[in-house]
Structure 1
Amino acid sequence: MKDAPTEDAIPEREAPAMSVGNAAVWAMASQYVTFAIIFATSVVISRYFLGPDEVGLFSIALAAALLLAVLQDFGLTRYIAGLKQLTQDEIDRCSTVALVFSLIIAALVALAAWPLAQLYDLPQLTSLLLIIAASYFFVPFAVVPLALMGRAMRFSGHFGVSVGGALIHGAVAVTLAWLGFSAFSLAWATLASAIAKALIAQALQPARPFPLRLDGLKPIIGFGGKTSALYITGALGTRTPDLVVGKLVGLTATGLFSRATSLAEQLRMLIAGAIGQVFYPTFARIRDSGKPLGPAYLRICAGYSVLVLPGMAFLSLAAEPIVMLLYGEAWIGTAPLLTLIAIQSGLMICLPMVTELPILTGHINRLIGYNIVETVVSIGLLAVGTHLAGAEGAAASRIVYAFAFFAIYMRFISTVVGFRVMDWLAIMAKSLLVTAIAVAPLALAYAFWIGPGEMGIVPLALCAMAGGLAWCAALFLTRHPALRDMRDTGLPIYNSLRRKLLSPREAVAGDRI
């Protein structure tokens, strides 16, 4: 981006560097490549170097740091993406805010290190948290460049930053784990990754916080203050599980629970997380054009649910053979936890963007209230479940929490976005039917062929392939609404399957839609 006169708007919104389709391709490429690197790193480290107790120790440290680090973005990504016009002065001010709040986060994490080590009676937590705290010195040099590239839909830059950071993280983590650094290998890898992301982001999209701009910060601080309240309450709900399990059950259970949560989240992000980066600026454009958001939102719900629900259902059913194949016997305790957490992860995606769209449409004050209620319910259910049944109780509480999430947000988000709940339910009914058909081959294999404890990679792969074919057929048999978007993307498989599964008359009619 070239420097603009001080108060001249930078016209990247009117002439974006990428179309939505190209942005989605780059976002997916970034997600898939980053996933492959992170996933391979976790498998190698868990299978050959670190045990559940060592991973549990790092998970507690990271969860504590992330609980404080929710302020690091200070809403800047959404603030920049939501601006109708962007000036160089605004970029400079946002860069200053990013630096100030990252320094605050680094100081808070460092100050919390010793008290947390005393609370958990784990002296190593102090050093781990100090290393993680150092990584936040480099975060501000990536936050604003990424926000600018996201606003301009230039997700090729996101690809470079994400993949570069993941490569450095993986290389440092595996090397240090091999050298015997235990949980500290992951902490040093976190610091190295932050440095790499900062350098790459600045090379692709310079946005430095120097000299500091302390004038005109009121709109940024006001927006950031409200979004930070959301971040804090949201973090209490999403970051506390490892802390609660670690305190009530112990390091080994925390490691098993953390690995189950991480695996479920990685698969969810692999299936649908990449496109989510494109949605916020896309909805901002729809809002600016004056068009209704409801139809586009229901299309997202249809696409997310029909992709993620079958994937997470398969992961839930195949938890035992997957854990054995990836991590080995030492991690088998992860399997029952993964079965439950995968279900929760699949359910939650069915009502997406409950934070982003209220912010975009100016309902942030009401959103904060709903978010506080959600957080209280989440932590309460987690504490009760962990107290009653340890790590398995904690995992089971996540399913109850998913249904509570729907009860809390459904009426609010349907009013804000503008869609009928009955239309959403009709989409979910079809997605659940597609899910049942997709996982049927694996369920039948368990019943009539081979049990989960004996299933190796070949029969599991065969079941996955059969499930994929069943999923494709179910999409057409149910006339799932996501088919329209698949056709619009020009996927070759769509036209091929449509010709095979529909009658000639139906196929011609479909071309007219």
Structure 2
Amino acid sequence: MTAPSPTDDGREPATMSVANAAVWAMAGQYLSFAIQFLTSVIISRFFLTPPEVGLFSIALAAAMVVSVLQDFGLTRYIAGLPRIDAEAQARCSSVALTFSFVVAGLIAALALPMAHAYHQPALAPMLLIIAGSYLFVPLAVVPMALMARTMSFRCHFSVNVGGALAQGIVALTLAAMGFSAFALAWATLANGAARGIIAQWMRPALPWPLRFDGVKPIVTTGSRLTFLYGWGALGTRTPDMIVGKLLGLLAVGLYSRATSLSDQFRMLMSGAIGSVFFPAFARIRDRGDPLGPAYARVIAGYTAIIWPGMAGLALAAAPVVRLLYGAKWMAVAPLLSTISLTEIFLVMLPMHTDLSILMGRTNRLIGLYMVDTAVSLSLLAAGSLLWGTQGAAFSRLIYGAFWVLLYGRFIHGIAGFNVRAVILIYAKSAIACLAALAPLVLTYLLWAGPYVISTGLLFANVALGGGLWLAAMIGLHHPALDDLIGLVAHLPGGRKIHPLLRTMVRV
């Protein structure tokens, strides 16, 4: 199942439709999520303690700050090219290989300083293992970008699921053998190796022989994007390091587990679709069509699904943590409730980075990122010092509200969406969200609170909430409804359900 290659003159092969691409991207995202999620649950329940998870979280956070160099903007650069030939591929692969060594070297150089800064000698060898995983990155970067360019998300599926399987098997095996937090580090290395090998098998683009002539446009674009992503990484990757330094390993273990669960749940709903939207919007731009109507549809889809999902996770945090991780992790629940609500703000203006890159507004975005990062880290540090882990979590909620105010006018200037139409979308999504939450809220008030509710009763409330959400979506004629129903037709067995859903909507 090898993806087709571009021809020598740069012409692209036929691509799958956006809907089919979305289905494959979602399938890969969901299955990868299920594997990683199940792995984290088993490891947390049976093998690792919060301080052990906290130690790995600090090491991974330090590595991820540096890892913004790994892609060097190649994915976006390749996606944005009008056409690409074998020579351009060779140049991109060579740049990817070069920067993989840069990233691995920088992470390795951090090993001893980090170990001394946190008074944790185990951080040094752990960071060296994680550094090794980045040597496999160039094997996957260009093939994955070429797959995305032609919307070959069937191949993305194989790469993502294969990497998740390798990571899960190694993590569980080594954790059971008593490798402690090092099991997670070796699993990271296994993930990188598996992704690189599978990507090259699906879409060969080896970074050899090296070719550096004509790389100036790549380096120019990559430098700007890397600087941009670097500021973003400071805001998203350093919180674990800050909490760990200020509050200790136990605190960062709890905080990291809360943010990880929130991120995983949000990615389950939105991450795959986002990878499809970038090339789709690139097509709209290339045709010269206005972005506003399409962007409003994206907002509708994100808020219709993610708002009730994240609000529901916040409301059900205690029973979810008890079910998944057990009693020793119950301190995660209040942190998870607060952090999950932050996502409601962060999906109000989706694709803010992607649209800025597509429309050539990266310089302005870099300035906003600098303000964004400064405010985010200042709020986190202040919250941690004043109120501990709960203060750190609450700082994320304040940051989310600030984020919307910071980027609102900027994104409107790029996408040109109708403000009144978007406000109406927000209102309809909020009503559908409240409908979804109503059964669980009433259950808490009348029968069983969050710390005593049974698993069966929780699932019953979720199912009832899902039914009320769908009824609200239909009753409100939510603009995302047509897109969601259309997506059902591309799922296995969806062609039988699709006419029924259409009939329900018309009625």
TM-score interval (norm. to shorter):
over 0.9
CA contact (8 A) 1:476 1:498 kept: no
CA contact (8 A) 1:340 1:399 kept: yes
CA contact (8 A) 1:487 1:495 kept: no
- Per-residue CA deviation, residues 426-456 of structure 1 (Å, 9 max, x unaligned), is 2111111111111010000000111111112
SS for the counterpart of 1:257 is helix
- The residue type paired with residue 40 of structure 2 is S
| Correspondences of 1:204-215 after superposition (within 5 Å) | 204-215=202-213
CA contact (8 A) 2:436 2:466 kept: yes
Q: How many angstroms apart in 1 are the aligned matches of 2:484 and 2:497? A: 9
CA contact (8 A) 1:325 1:456 kept: no
CA contact (8 A) 2:473 2:481 kept: yes
CA contact (8 A) 1:486 1:494 kept: no
Matched with 1:58 is 56
Residue 197 (1) aligns with residue 195 (2) = yes
What is the Cα deviation at residue 4 of structure 1?
A: 4.4
Matched with 1:294 is 292
Aligned length: 498
Q: How many angstroms apart in 2 are the aligned matches of 1:231 and 1:265? A: 18
What is the Cα deviation at residue 3 of structure 1?
A: 7.2
CA contact (8 A) 1:268 1:312 kept: yes
Matched with 1:23 is 21
Matched with 1:391 is 389
Give the TM-score taking structure 1 as reference length.
0.95
Q: How many angstroms apart in 2 are the aligned matches of 1:497 and 1:9? A: 42
SS for the counterpart of 1:84 is coil
- Per-residue CA deviation, residues 227-271 of structure 1 (Å, 9 max, x unaligned), is 011111000000011011000001011011111111111111111
What is the Cα deviation at residue 140 of structure 1?
A: 0.7
- The residue type paired with residue 470 of structure 2 is C
- The residue type paired with residue 313 of structure 1 is A
Matched with 2:441 is 443
| Correspondences of 1:451-490 after superposition (within 5 Å) | 451-489=449-487, 490=489
Q: How many angstroms apart in 2 are the aligned matches of 1:392 and 1:189? A: 30
What is the Cα deviation at residue 272 of structure 1?
A: 1.8
SS for the counterpart of 1:252 is helix
Matched with 2:156 is 158
| Correspondences of 1:187-336 after superposition (within 5 Å) | 187-336=185-334
What is the Cα deviation at residue 477 of structure 1?
A: 2.0
Overall identity of the aligned pairs, in %:
54
SS for the counterpart of 1:139 is helix
What is the Cα deviation at residue 10 of structure 1?
A: 3.3
CA contact (8 A) 2:345 2:403 kept: no
What is the Cα deviation at residue 169 of structure 1?
A: 0.4
Q: How many angstroms apart in 1 are the aligned matches of 2:158 and 2:187? A: 18
What is the Cα deviation at residue 493 of structure 1?
A: 5.5
What is the Cα deviation at residue 277 of structure 1?
A: 0.8
Matched with 1:98 is 96
CA contact (8 A) 1:37 1:166 kept: yes
Residues 161 and 498 (structure 1 numbering): CA distance in 2 closer, same or farther, change over 3 Å?
A: closer
SS for the counterpart of 2:135 is coil
CA contact (8 A) 2:432 2:469 kept: yes
Q: How many angstroms apart in 2 are the aligned matches of 1:75 and 1:424? A: 31
Matched with 1:10 is 11
Matched with 2:431 is 433
Q: How many angstroms apart in 2 are the aligned matches of 1:118 and 1:91? A: 42
Q: How many angstroms apart in 2 are the aligned matches of 1:150 and 1:477? A: 36
Q: How many angstroms apart in 2 are the aligned matches of 1:105 and 1:305? A: 36
CA contact (8 A) 2:485 2:502 kept: no
Q: How many angstroms apart in 2 are the aligned matches of 1:494 and 1:262? A: 34
CA contact (8 A) 2:310 2:343 kept: yes
CA contact (8 A) 1:386 1:394 kept: yes
- Per-residue CA deviation, residues 304-347 of structure 1 (Å, 9 max, x unaligned), is 10100001111000000000011000000100000001101232
- The residue type paired with residue 269 of structure 1 is M
- The residue type paired with residue 438 of structure 1 is A
Residues 493 and 446 (structure 1 numbering): CA distance in 2 closer, same or farther, change over 3 Å?
A: farther
- The residue type paired with residue 12 of structure 2 is P
Gaps of 5+ in 2: none
Q: How many angstroms apart in 1 are the aligned matches of 2:429 and 2:5? A: 46
What is the Cα deviation at residue 291 of structure 1?
A: 0.7
Residues 291 and 3 (structure 1 numbering): CA distance in 2 closer, same or farther, change over 3 Å?
A: closer
What is the Cα deviation at residue 61 of structure 1?
A: 0.2
Q: Once superposed, what is the RMSD of the aligned Cα atoms?
A: 1.3
CA contact (8 A) 1:382 1:394 kept: yes
Q: How many angstroms apart in 1 are the aligned matches of 2:61 and 2:371? A: 21
Q: How many angstroms apart in 1 are the aligned matches of 2:21 and 2:127? A: 36
